[in-house]
Amino acid sequence: MSQLVYMANQIARNFAAQGEAVAIAQTAQHIRDFWDPRMKAAILAGGEGLEPLARAAVEQLRNGVTAPR
Amino acid sequence: MGYEPQADFGTPEVRDGAPVTLAIDGRAVTVPAGTSVMRAAAECGGAIPKLCASDNLAAFGSCRLCLVEIDGMRGTPASCTTPVAEGMVVHTQTPRLEKLRRGVMELYISDHPLDCLTCSANNDCELQDAAAQVGLRDVRYGYAGEDHLDAAADVSNPYFDFDPSKCIVCSRCVRACEEVQGTFALTIDGRGFASKVSAGQSADDFLASECVSCGACVQACPTATLNEKAVTAIGKPERSVVTTCAYCGVGCTFRAELKGEQLVRMVPWKDGKANHGHSCVKGRFAWGYANHQDRILAPMIRESIEEPWREVSWDEALRYTADRLNAIKAQHGARALGGITSSRCTNEEAYLVQKLVRAGFGSNNVDTCARVCHSPTGYGLKTTFGTSAGTQDFDSVMDSDVILVIGANPTDAHPVFGSQMKRRLRQGARLIVIDPRRIDLVRSPHVQAEHHLALQPGTNVAVLTAMAHVIVTEGLADEAFIRERCDLDEYQDWARFVSDARHSPEVLEAVTRVPAGDLRAAARLYATGGNAAIYYGLGVTEHSQGSSTVMAIANLAMATGNVGRRGVGVNPLRGQNNVQGSCDMGSFPHELSGYRHISDGSTRAMFEADWGVELDPEPGLRIPNMFDAAIEGSFRALYVQGEDILQSDPNTHHVVAGLAAMDLVIVHDLFLNETANYAHVFLPGSTFLEKNGTFTNAERRIQLVRKVMEPANGYEDWEVTQELAKAMGLGWDYAHPAEIMAEIARLTPSFSGVSHERLDREGSLQWPVNEAHPDGSPIMHVDGFVRGKGKFVVTAYVPTDEKTGPRFPLLLTTGRILSQYNVGAQTRRTANVVWHEEDVLEIHPTDAENRGVVTGDLVRLASRTGETTLRALVTDRVAPGVVYTTFHHPATQANVVTTEFSDWATNCPEYKVTAVQVGLSNGPSDWQESYEAQARRSRRIEAEPAE
């Protein structure tokens, strides 16, 4: 598992208790807010090992869905 | 400023009393009730002779020199212990008093060496002054009687001597140790004529005693009995400059006292609002690194790290650096470049480095050493409260009824505030300590924690959630506060979550190892004990759930209504002197100054208009991401100011790999630090004594740093950054850091009312300083949270992925010690090494016995990332299963062992939890030997060619 996949999964796990929809949106927003473009590009290009919440967040990121700040 | 002792009013200031008017020597004086006659006289300019009184100590009434006559009162009361009264008529100079005072002085002088001309305190001695004040002309008793003049001096302390032959047994040193420092290391041993000051037990000298070398006794001594060795060696200072300490986040104000260009001593400044005239061993004494022989004063460059360094001119160094940066940018793009700002440098210097990265390099790849300490504080408090800072000033603790210390060790890491906290605890505040280790606060003289929750490392969130469970399920939450100040829906979600039986102390005990009964009692005390304040440190932030823990702390404070007034709040104790400031200045890769996200178009536009460049709207790389990107090949050049990332960052092997992969590493520092082993350019730095600017301490207090002496390297650090920017083609033209602060104020709403001129006039300001808070903000969130409604965040406990197992059955946690600071670059180059010359591994007796380890053994400390060797200290200060060490010495390099696991939200490293094994060793590890050889090779400096 890549370092970025590990990070994305870790973020999602920490949002998980807030409920699935919120966790997915918050994970996507967190990556949008704090990751450098090359990191975003890498997670979009290869997400092997992503857990379901993180995978859904990456999909939101790919589709440009934004959560309210 | 010339050199004069600070005015001493004899007894502490009283602020709250009703006005009382009295007459002193015919002059009407009005002071608050409770003020002493001595202080009232001093405030109106009529100093009464004194020896045992000092305005930072409670009145003692022992020296009998400050006697006065008061109409209608019998005898001659001591003015220090006599409070003023309405209509009182006081006489301070009468024939009767003159005779009495001369008699007292005769007794003192009859047992005092008359060596004033050769005494280190000559012309700076209160005994000498008092003798002159009372008009002493002879000593009727003679000098032939029994005396103490042959008492041997104790020179064991590296910074000051104790010469009992000069002691007048006024007890000021003993009382300073008790009242100011709170260590109780000194006492008066014996009775009557045999009375003498004693450090520790009678067999101890100062060095062997519990003395922590804070200097309070030296400061208090009215004679040369306790005097700095430097004063003895150099002589009395003749000029002084008031400036701010560059060690921890307390931000003590000191007066640097000099003779010519030579610094003689650093004396804590009574008007300093963070320290009120107190100090610790680091700020007071450990400044010798500033002119240590290891300091590099000439710029150096080299093509590769295999080559020796070559000294060059500043022009050549800057031209070479700028050309290489520009070339890398041209070839690999702006995002291949980055920089790291320093929490040891000034606000102005941090601001310029991030500006150079954003406006010059063209990327947002700027980060700061706060990444590895308090970045979770920034995230957690901004999310919950709306601003990335603590809520209180230090003095607020004096209004606390309950103090909860979690993951912090104030008496070692923030000693001056630790002393203030102990003062409040001695007054009766109740203490809860949550820490896997038994820190000194748990039990020290006259201080005892009511609850010490010695949790399993890595379970902070579980403990805090269990406390929240108790508060909510037992109906202890402050519902009125919550309804008025917080988002109620979010509170209800959170309350439902923590109320779940899974989060009860009884269920979580299996995880936390904290007995449920203790935890319940601590939670009840926090919620119901009155004003409750939380103080926390890196034991909170340096975890995989560091940010969650900060938010869990904020949740507790909001749930109990402990925010927005004195005595309460959430208080991060910042590690380095300017951690708060470097974060404020836009040092994070996603934020501009004042914590505004880089993606915010209107904020970016303001900076773009001011700086005349277009800014990248995307966040940049954090420090650990920089190493990853360097290894992967997309990050090629790094400018590091005042930070030794190789020694301080986790998983040293990974840091080495990252640095070694870069084309250009520029180190801007005082010394050839460990990072410089992998650098291509070395730019000499200046010390805090050699520069102007500002630091911002843990209570958001912005204070001036004033230049005490010219930079030995030729330039202040902001000037070096500016010259590099100019060499890269940027048209910077700051003439003084005051101009940089003016730009910061122009672009940062929370700093809009800050200027050097105002700081010089007012001493300090606590941000926000703006239209809404023109005089600054000692306490935040008074009328409401900065973000509007306080936000409760559900913080589920997510166990770390760092697991113990058969190979690595123990948990290592790291910390710091009083005498050393951070990676030790400064303190290792001072006499502070007498207290801590190497890192040691604390291990519980049971774990030690199982491994055949005794104190002093060399042991191998191994984790899955690496291993090192160090000496063992067997102690029950740590719990079974837990070992502890510091990271002050590169020879140990504790971070060879720590892992790359980090906080989920900020990537702050999980320094506090590493699964390890400990076993006996017979020498340095392979890594230590190869690192030592590499470091020696890398530090070679090319000899100048023969003429």
Pick B590's closest partner by Cβ from A10, A33, A38: A33
Which one of B364, B628, B635 makes the best mutation probe of the A interface by having the most chain A beta carbons within 10 Å? B628
Q: Is the peptide bond before B768 cis (omega within 30 degrees of 0)?
A: yes
For B633, name the nearest residue in chain A, comparing CA atoms only: A38
Buried/exposed B910-933: b ≥16 CB within 10 Å, e otherwise: bbbbbbbbbeebeebbebbeebee
Q: What residues contact B761, with CB distance under 8 A and at least 6 apart?
A: none
Put simply, the answer to whether B618 touches A36 (Cβ < 8 Å) is yes
If we measure between CA atoms, which residue out of B249, B371, B310, B284 comes closest to residue B699?
B249
Full domain range(s) for residue A18: 3-62
- Which residue's entry shows tokens 């001072």? B830
Greatest alpha-carbon span in chain B: 91
Residue B655 in this model has a pLDDT that exceeds 70? yes
For A31, name the nearest residue in chain B, comparing CA atoms only: B905
Q: How far apart are CA B925 and CA B31, in angstroms?
A: 67
Asked if the C-beta of B555 comes within 8 angstroms of chain A's C-beta atoms, the answer is no
Better pLDDT: A2 or B426: B426
**B42-46, B83-87, B130-134, B263-267: least confident range:** B42-46
- Residue-wise pLDDT for B117-154, tens only, equals 999 999 999 999 999 999 999 999 888 888 999 999 99
Put simply, the answer to whether A35 touches B619 (Cβ < 8 Å) is yes
Asked if the C-beta of B775 comes within 8 angstroms of chain A's C-beta atoms, the answer is no
- Confidence at residue B648, expressed as pLDDT on a 0 to 100 scale: 87
A56 lies in a domain? Answer: yes
**B200-209, B511-520, B795-804: least confident range:** B200-209
* C-beta of residue B755 within 8 angstroms of C-beta of residue B762: no
Q: Which B-chain residues 904-933 have CB contacts (< 8 A) with chain A?
A: 904-907
Average pLDDT, integer, range B390-404: 97
- Which residue's entry shows tokens 């102005």? B348
Residue B831 in this model has a pLDDT that exceeds 80? yes
- At residue B870's C-alpha, the angle toward residues B864 and B872, to 5°, is 105
Looking at the complex, report in whole angstroms how far the Cα of residue B889 sits from the nearest Cα belonging to chain A: 29
- Residue-wise pLDDT for B341-395, tens only, equals 999 999 999 999 999 999 999 999 999 999 998 999 999 999 999 999 999 999 9
A17 lies in a domain? Answer: yes
Asked if the C-beta of B132 comes within 8 angstroms of chain A's C-beta atoms, the answer is no
Q: Looking at beta carbons, which residues of chain A come within 8 Å of B590? A: 33-34
Asked if the C-beta of A66 comes within 8 angstroms of chain B's C-beta atoms, the answer is no
For A2, name the nearest residue in chain B, comparing CA atoms only: B628
Distances (CA, A) of B746 to B287, B352, B738, B741: 35, 15, 12, 8
A28 lies in a domain? Answer: yes
Q: Looking at beta carbons, which residues of chain B come within 8 Å of A7? A: 904, 907
Asked if the C-beta of A11 comes within 8 angstroms of chain B's C-beta atoms, the answer is yes
Asked if the C-beta of A7 comes within 8 angstroms of chain B's C-beta atoms, the answer is yes
- Confidence at residue B691, expressed as pLDDT on a 0 to 100 scale: 97
Q: What's the whole-number average pLDDT of chain A?
A: 91
- Percent of chain B with pLDDT strictly greater than 70: 99
Put simply, the answer to whether A38 touches B629 (Cβ < 8 Å) is yes
If we measure between CA atoms, which residue out of B102, B85, B12, B115 comes closest to residue B49?
B102
Q: How far apart are CA B123 and CA B290, in angstroms?
A: 28
* C-beta of residue B667 within 8 angstroms of C-beta of residue B724: no
Asked if the C-beta of B629 comes within 8 angstroms of chain A's C-beta atoms, the answer is yes
Put simply, the answer to whether B634 touches A37 (Cβ < 8 Å) is no
Q: For residue B127, give the H/E element and its range.
A: helix B126-134
Is residue B777 packed enough to be buried (19+ CB in 10 Å), middle (13-18) or exposed (0-12)?
buried
CA terminus-to-terminus distance, chain B: 46
- Confidence at residue A66, expressed as pLDDT on a 0 to 100 scale: 58
Q: Looking at beta carbons, which residues of chain A come within 8 Å of B365? A: 36
Put simply, the answer to whether B544 touches A17 (Cβ < 8 Å) is no
Residue A1: pLDDT band by 50, 70, 90 thresholds?
Answer: low
A69 lies in a domain? Answer: no
- Residue-wise pLDDT for B239-259, tens only, equals 999 999 999 999 999 999 999
Asked if the C-beta of B619 comes within 8 angstroms of chain A's C-beta atoms, the answer is yes
A50 lies in a domain? Answer: yes
Pick B904's closest partner by Cβ from A10, A35, A37: A10
- Percent of chain B with pLDDT strictly greater than 90: 91
Pick A34's closest partner by Cβ from B548, B619, B796: B619
* C-beta of residue B248 within 8 angstroms of C-beta of residue B414: yes
Q: Looking at beta carbons, which residues of chain A come within 8 Å of B906? A: 34
- Confidence at residue B704, expressed as pLDDT on a 0 to 100 scale: 98
Put simply, the answer to whether B335 touches A36 (Cβ < 8 Å) is yes
For B904, name the nearest residue in chain A, comparing CA atoms only: A11
Asked if the C-beta of A17 comes within 8 angstroms of chain B's C-beta atoms, the answer is yes
Pick A14's closest partner by Cβ from B364, B904, B907: B904
Looking at the complex, report in whole angstroms how far the Cα of residue A23 sits from the nearest Cα belonging to chain B: 11
Pick B590's closest partner by Cβ from A3, A34, A37: A34
A52 lies in a domain? Answer: yes
- Confidence at residue B945, expressed as pLDDT on a 0 to 100 scale: 57
Residue B1: pLDDT band by 50, 70, 90 thresholds?
Answer: low
Distances (CA, A) of B239 to A4, B259, B689: 57, 6, 14
Pick B794's closest partner by Cβ from A7, A17, A30: A17
Q: Which B-chain residues 3-42 have CB contacts (< 8 A) with chain A?
A: none
- Complex confidence, ipTM: 0.96
C-alpha dihedral (B196, B200, B204, B209), degrees to nearest 10: -130
- Confidence at residue B47, expressed as pLDDT on a 0 to 100 scale: 84
Which one of B363, B543, B618, B899 makes the best mutation probe of the A interface by having the most chain A beta carbons within 10 Å? B618
Average pLDDT, integer, range B453-475: 97
Average pLDDT, integer, range B84-91: 97
- Residue-wise pLDDT for B775-785, tens only, equals 999 999 999 99
* C-beta of residue B526 within 8 angstroms of C-beta of residue B556: yes
Which one of A9, A13, A14, A43 makes the best mutation probe of the B interface by having the most chain B beta carbons within 10 Å? A14
Residue A69 in this model has a pLDDT that exceeds 50? no
Looking at the complex, report in whole angstroms how far the Cα of residue B795 sits from the nearest Cα belonging to chain A: 7
- Residue-wise pLDDT for B143-194, tens only, equals 888 899 999 999 999 999 999 999 999 999 999 999 999 999 999 999 999 9
Pick A14's closest partner by Cβ from B548, B622, B900: B548
A68 lies in a domain? Answer: no
Pick B904's closest partner by Cβ from A11, A17, A18: A11
Domain count along chain A: 1
If we measure between CA atoms, which residue out of B404, B467, B49, B452 comes closest to residue B222?
B49
For B494, name the nearest residue in chain A, comparing CA atoms only: A18
Looking at the complex, report in whole angstroms how far the Cα of residue A38 sits from the nearest Cα belonging to chain B: 9
Better pLDDT: B946 or B400: B400
Put simply, the answer to whether A14 touches B905 (Cβ < 8 Å) is yes
Put simply, the answer to whether B335 touches A37 (Cβ < 8 Å) is yes
Put simply, the answer to whether A10 touches B620 (Cβ < 8 Å) is no
- Residue-wise pLDDT for B838-874, tens only, equals 999 999 999 999 999 999 999 999 999 999 999 999 9
Q: How far apart are CA B855 and CA B70, in angstroms?
A: 63
Q: Looking at beta carbons, which residues of chain B come within 8 Å of A3? A: 628, 900
Query: How many inter-chain contacts (A to B, CB under 8 Å) are there?
Result: 51
A18 lies in a domain? Answer: yes
Put simply, the answer to whether B335 touches A7 (Cβ < 8 Å) is no
Tell me if residue B317 falls in helix, strand or coil: helix
Looking at the complex, report in whole angstroms how far the Cα of residue A3 sits from the nearest Cα belonging to chain B: 9
Residue B235 in this model has a pLDDT that exceeds 50? yes
Put simply, the answer to whether A13 touches B905 (Cβ < 8 Å) is no
